[in-house]
Amino acid sequence: MNSVLALARPELLALEPYRHAAWLPSVTRLHANENPWADPDDPTGPPLNRYPEPLSEELRAALARLYGLAPAAVLPGRGSDEGIDLLVRAFCRAGQDRVLICPPTFGMYRVAAEIQGAGIVEVPLDAGFGLDAAAVRAACSPAVKLVFLCSPNNPTGNSLATSALAGLLDSLAGRAIVVVDEAYAEFAPGRGLLDRLPRYPELVLLRTLSKAHGLAGARCGAVLADPAIIELLARLIHPYALPSPTIDAALAALAPERLARSAARTGRIIAERERLAAALAGLGAVQRVWPSAANFLLVEFREAGAALAAALRAGLLLRDFSREPRLAGCIRITVGAPADNDRLLAALGELR
């Protein structure tokens, strides 16, 4: 048995996964209880009266090429959220095991743990929203099976220091799975921790096509990890997790010409992020604009309620974090199209 699986729920190691109908699309299918007729008004593409491939190997290979990994190290799923849920179910026994989170951070880590009945250990980020690696190490008791980190972090926008992450991985080897959520990695310099995966079998990365690739409505993401972890998670994932339209949309987005367009759009968003940050910092209503390596900005306002109301009057919806611990007065602002950003600046510029 791969040593990293010693951290998994032991009862799952012998789990027989659901046996879906055989996948032989070249022959007439009378084995999966499908409707034999497609509706002529269905969208173009694979007929929706037929189940999709249980795990699309074509999509898996395309994602592997995107991230520079072997297909065996990739599990496609419904956004990053499905990966979070699968990991908690695979490694945490209800009422016994725990996950460690570093708030303020993405709320789904806590939700997935609570649904599973896993305990939660909190080690807050430091005053500048950096990782307190020493405190994380100290808090990792044998009950902690998963450490969830987000880089760039949502909602603060900053990347966690690679040196701190590497040191933590070294110190937790064999003790816990370290999950680094890189949903916003394309908006930050470098390749994130992709090149570290072969060195650290306990490292799991979460990626998504929702952000930089513009497929939030299609819901497609990926877990990237040691093949032993991927094989375990594949036993737990729902049959036919990705519908045919999602698979088609993802494959189209991963074509070379579409990837080039996505890279160009990402560059425009980064430029707009810097322009918007500088303009917001000059407004009287703004106390602070936190540095960001994502496609959003965390902004502290003198009166968060007034800022939210002004944006709404201008037809713009922002995300209020002002009541969250350590985020008093803070609003998260997604970087929009230039015209939308200008409209926001005009609305906020009227506040005093």
Report the CATH number at residue 294. 3.90.1150.10
149 lies in the same domain as 220:
yes
Domain span at residue 305 reads 258-349
Do 72 and 45 lie in one domain? The reply is: yes
- pTM of this structure: 0.95
- 43 pLDDT band, cuts 50/70/90, is confident
Residues 150 and 283 in one domain: no
pLDDT band at 20 (very low <50, low <70, confident <90, very high): confident
The answer to the question of residue 110 being in a domain is yes
Report which of residues 140 and 32 the model is more confident about. 140
Residue 21 in any domain: the answer is no
Q: Are residues 200 and 176 in the same domain?
A: yes
Provide the mean pLDDT of the chain.
Answer: 95
Give the residue from 219, 254, 289 where a domain finishes.
254
Regarding whether 317 and 193 lie in a shared domain, the answer is no
Reference 335, options 285, 278, 260, 282; nearest CA is 278
Residue 81 lies in a domain: yes
Q: Which of 205, 225, 254 finishes a domain? A: 254
pLDDT in tens, 236-257: 999 889 999 999 999 999 999 9
Q: Give the single-character DSSP code of 334.
A: E
pLDDT tens readout for residues 82-126: 999 999 999 999 999 999 999 999 999 999 999 999 999 999 999
Q: Are residues 134 and 277 in the same domain?
A: no
Q: Does residue 170 sit in helix, strand or coil?
A: helix
The structural domain count of the chain equals 2
Is 18 domain-assigned? Answer: no
Query: What is the DSSP track for 118-157?
Result: -EEEE----TTS---HHHHHHH--TTEEEEEEESS-TTT-
Q: What is the CATH number of the domain that holds 129?
A: 3.40.640.10
Position 91 in a domain: yes
Average pLDDT of the residues in 280-300: 98
Residue 315 lies in a domain: yes
What does the pLDDT read at residue 1? 57
Residue 22 lies in a domain: no
What is the model's pLDDT at position 45?
A: 80
Residue 196 falls within a domain, yes or no? yes
Tell me, yes or no, whether 218 and 315 share the same domain: no
- Which one of 224, 254, 284 terminates a domain? 254
Summarize pLDDT for 164-181 with one digit per residue, the tens. 999 999 999 999 999 999
Contacts of 315 (CB under 8 A, 6+ apart): 343
Does 200 share its domain with 324? Answer: no
Q: What is the pLDDT of residue 22?
A: 82
